[in-house]
Amino acid sequence: MLDKFFKKTKEIVKKLMSYFEIKKKLPNCGDSDEKFEILRGNFIANGQSRSVWKVKGHDDYVLKESFEGKECININEAKYYYLANNEGLTKIIACLAEIHSISETGKYIIMEALDTSVSLTGKTCNVPKEVADKHKKNFGIKHGVIKCLDYGGVAVEGKISEKPIQHQFPSDEAVAEARALIDLF
């Protein structure tokens, strides 16, 4: 009976150690794809060039995995974020979901998780000028702040704008009217 107890206790301790090992270690920039891939948790969604996954042991981060041949999207996103960070552009950084790290090939990015279930209809936020794709699906909220979670389409050529611009998300009625007009053509 005591052997059974110790065996069960060892199993629990092993699981806890495994959990804490995952919990404390996120890969650094330039680490191998394998170090990112082992953290892939439950599937969240697919986009045009990437899949998004939860990060095992880190509810505050997501893992973006580029489709084959689309690594440039992750690389652009990381380049933009780190360039803004290195230049001390705090107003720009405040508009963006934080990138923790990118894998050596650019296949994976670990990014701050944002709440995308909150309606952004009629809300206003700051957005870097370089971000052209301002669809609601590309934004989320953390601690009441709306941030851009998909800025991989930004091509970094030279300097980044230092001041974000204000963007208001259209109402559902405005979107419906625009779609009705498009359908006429």
Pick one of 3.40.50.2000, 2.30.30.30, 1.10.540.10, 3.30.200.20 as the CATH number of 27-184.
3.30.200.20
Is residue 92 over pLDDT 80? Answer: yes
| Best CA proximity match to 100, nearest among 16, 26, 50, 15 | 26
Residue 183 CA: distances (Å) to CA of 21, 136, 172, 178, 179: 54, 21, 16, 9, 6
Q: What are the residue ranges spanned by the domains of the chain?
A: 27-184
Question: Is the pTM here over 0.85, yes or no?
Answer: no
What does the DSSP 8-state code read for residue 141?
Answer: E
| Residues 6 or more apart in contact with residue 119 via CB below 8 angstroms | none
Q: For residue range 28-87, what is the model confidence (pLDDT) as tens digits?
A: 999 999 999 999 999 999 999 999 999 999 999 999 999 999 999 999 999 999 999 999
Structure tokens at 32: 């191998």
Cα of 90 vs its chain's centroid, Å: 18
| Best CA proximity match to 22, nearest among 63, 53, 56 | 56
